[in-house]
Amino acid sequence: MLPAQHETPEQHLARLQTRFAEASGLNPRFVNLLAGNDRWPLAQQVDFLGKAHELAAGFGLTCSFETHRATSLYSPWLTLEIIQQLPQLRFTADISHWVVVSERLLDDPSDDFSAFIDRVHHVQARVGYDQGPQVPHPAAPEYQPALAFAERFWQQIWRSQRQRGYPQTTLTPEFGADGYLHHLPFTNVPVADLWSLNAWMATRQQAHFQQFLSLTEQEPQP
């Protein structure tokens, strides 16, 4: 849930309290949350996210904060600063947003996201590129570098989750329609079928995960 721009952190927390109360009755595996506002200063972000985490815990909910533009976690660098102050947070990794915010694949040798990776609870599998949060089709040859980067990042998350003793991992193919799906100019015809994009990604990542398991099954478990 993205806040209205006039909304204060206190108003956002009040809305979250209502939503958490509703969600707790469903006994969810976890709650994925788009939280905060990119316009707030760092101290306000930290205070808000800490309170949101405590609020969810009070309802017995596992809260996974999603990396997303326009929220508190719009930037990888800001997120790493937040982690230093709130190491208890858990995250949903949608790195497509970070790629477009940074205008590059985040694979420079100086990029260290281990503190974030070690706190990822859920993965949203959309492939972003330097000029947008969603490639037209992840199977297209011109976007293979972007796909390869995303898959390397997800595999680091799986490895971390395995080391943390996760009995299972969760991943959502998340190619979307709302401004994400590319259309042809003038005719507004989609360049790809949205269901097919997500089905392709689901099949691809199931195979990717099985390959990961086969390569790491001999590694010592925690």
- Residues shown for the chain: 222
State the amino acid at position 19 in one-letter form.
R
> How far apart are alpha carbons 98 and 85 in whole angstroms?
20
| pLDDT at residue 4 is higher than 90 | no
> How far apart are alpha carbons 119 and 121 in whole angstroms?
6
For residue range 39-54, list pLDDT tens digits in order: 999 999 999 999 999 9
Show the CA angle centred on residue 158, arms to residues 181 and 147, nearest 5°: 35
> How far apart are alpha carbons 201 and 173 in whole angstroms?
6
Which residues of 62-156 form beta strands (DSSP E)?
A: 63-66, 90-93, 120-125
Least confident segment among 35-49, 125-139, 146-160, 206-220? 206-220
Q: Phi and psi dihedrals of 162, rounded to 5?
A: -65, -45
Only one residue has tokens 């925690």, namely 222
**pTM for the whole structure:** 0.95
Please give the CATH architecture assigned to the domain spanning 9-216.
Answer: Alpha-Beta Barrel (3.20)
Q: Are 56 and 35 in contact (CB under 8 A)?
A: no
